Chains A and B, each alone.
Chain A
């Protein structure tokens, strides 16, 4: 049973436009959410996180939105840059160290 789902395996966006990556979850006990970025041959790197007491967290070009009623979170990248091309994983935690990861979305930003 996949508790964290990233239904879009890939996404292509033009440079300068907005990239929106989506993530859905099923476990209402999740209270902490993260986004990681992964380049080929490298480990995932932490990007941004949000706790369930907030509905938005912003860090530079990256903003994460959380809709608890819909059990949905999204990552917005504005403006998108070619260097943002990577695989993005969302992850969720239910108050413990155990992260449940989605399957990832491959973002390609076209120059």
Chain B
């Protein structure tokens, strides 16, 4: 099946620094990629949707200047958490779809990245 990877799988950083998380589709071209965040014992929350070559669409309440998303190619999207603070500590997970991004298009998820901000 379609494989999505994320790097790094976990990262610890100091408050005020920026962290970049990569999401790659390994065996398919991802027209649309999604970034989610999951806090402990809570559900996956969609943060933003990105299409290759265009600006990401952010969900309500998600600061686009804090969570920079770049979908530079059909196989790579990056999420940069700028000026990270302890409250940004969370599990970040991406997904990708090779179709048009409609509801019936299967999203393939990466393994996630655990971010801890000290």
Residues of A at under 8 Å CB distance from B?
2, 4, 9, 31-32, 36, 41-46, 49, 51, 89, 93, 95-104
Contact = CB atoms under 8 A, between A and B. Distances in A.
Nearest to B45: A101
Nearest to B106: A46
B93 interface: yes
Interface residues of B, number: 29
Contacts of A44: 44, 93, 109
In terms of DSSP, what is the predominant structure of the interface of chain A? loop
Nearest to B43: A101
A1 to B, nearest CB: 12
A43 B43 contact: no
Given A43-B109, A98-B49, A101-B45, 19 more contacts: A2-B43, A32-B104, A41-B9, A42-B111, A43-B6, A43-B93, A43-B95, A43-B112, A45-B1, A51-B104, A89-B43, A95-B103, A97-B34, A97-B97, A97-B105, A98-B59, A99-B46, A103-B42, A104-B43
